[in-house]
Amino acid sequence: MDKLKEIKIYTLNEVEAILSVTRRTIYNYIKNGDLRASKIGKNWRVQYQDLQSFIDSGMSIVDKSA
């Protein structure tokens, strides 16, 4: 159970704020396989380590939708 307490999971609203991009851009990252995410019911979730890997990969965080 201790391992479950350590897992941080973000909503797409939180990911939007962290990356300063629109929801459409996040969906594109997920669709293209750039950002790993899981759909739980109707909602997408991103684990901390997946978001960190995305940022560390040097992926260009440019919101072209704006």
Domain boundaries, the chain: 2-56
Structural element, H or E, at residue 45: strand 43-47
The predicted structure's pLDDT at residue 38:
97
Q: What torsion, rounded to 10 degrees, do the Cα atoms 27, 30, 36, 37 define? A: 40
Handedness of CA 27, 18, 33, 41 (dihedral sign): negative
For the record, the structure tokens of 27 come out as 């969906």
User: Does the predicted TM-score (pTM) go above 0.85?
Assistant: no
As its CATH architecture, domain 2-56 has Orthogonal Bundle (1.10)
Instruction: Encode the chain (66 residues) as per-residue pLDDT tens digits.
Output: 556 567 799 999 999 999 999 999 999 999 999 999 999 999 999 999 999 999 999 766 555 554
Q: Which residues of 34-47 are buried (b: 16+ CB within 10 A; e: fewer)?
A: ebebeeeeeebbbe
